[in-house]
Structure 1
Amino acid sequence: MKAEAARLGFATVGFAPAEDDALRAARLHDWIAAGHHGSMQWMEDRADVRQGPQSMWPEARSVIALGMSYAPEVDPLALEGEAEKARISVYAQGRDYHDVVKKALKALA
């Protein structure tokens, strides 16, 4: 699985037990209560199933965590100080990371 994940562009792969954890659940609650979720109301609305893997999928036994860089090919600071040149925000450069990561996840599945 690690070799295939690397072939698909994932830089890291990890595995962990899919156990809910009271401390993580409390931290999520505190984070939401502090308003750190901003305008992502769905996080507050679905916090009960986001407390841990088994809250969402009771039958889950393991978690597979994957990491993928979607950094732009060009250094975003290269134009720093050049006021006469327009800059495009990093998040808007390249393909939407949702699409890139989703495609790789589907191929790995």
Structure 2
Amino acid sequence: MVNSAVASLEERLKAEAARLGFAACGFAPAADDPVRAQRLETWLGEGHHGTMEWMETRLHHRRGPQSLWPEAQSVIALGMSYAPAADPRALEAHPDRARISVYAQGGDYHDVVKRNLKA
């Protein structure tokens, strides 16, 4: 059972995340997960990361949060909608028209998310 102080803190963090524009906020233990680390290593070994070489060269940092921050106890996971104003599926009925990928219609998501995280 989660004690009331932790529950209260989680609710305040969720409210602040929503205020900053995040659509989702959750919490998880920061402990490394050897099963997931092995799954990532296998995925990388099979070349599924394509040209994202940094994923392989930084594998030791990607095993889990405590690989980077040994003192970490919990992780706050945030989600932000990146949906465009117009429905991207509306053009499916018009194969003669060009379509721009959803991720290319807005600002660079790295910048958008960082800006909200730093607010």
- TM (norm. structure 2) is 0.84
Q: Tell me the SS of whatever aligns to 1:78.
A: helix
RMSD over equivalenced CA pairs, Å: 1.2
Task: State the number of aligned residues.
Answer: 107
Matched, 1:44 2:56: yes
User: Per-residue deviation at 1:53?
Assistant: 0.6
Q: How much does 1:87 deviate? A: 2.2
Query: Hey, what's the Cα distance between the residues in 2 that align with 1:48 and 1:105?
Result: 25
Unpaired runs of 5+ residues, structure 2, are 1-12
> Following the alignment from structure 1 to structure 2, what is the Cα–Cα distance between the partners of residues 77 and 33?
35
- If asked which structure has higher relative contact order (CA below 8 Å, sep 6+), I would say 1
Offset at residue 83 of structure 1 (A): 3.8
1:97 corresponds to which residue? 109
Q: Name the CA distance, whole Å, in 1 between partners of 2:104 and 2:91.
A: 16
- The residue aligned with 2:21 is 9
Mapping 1:71-90, distance limit 5 Å: 71-90=83-102
Residue identity opposite 1:3 in structure 2: A
Give the gaps of 5 or more residues in structure 1.
none
Shift of 1:63: 0.5
Give the SS at the match of 2:88: coil
Which position in structure 2 is the counterpart of 1:58? 70
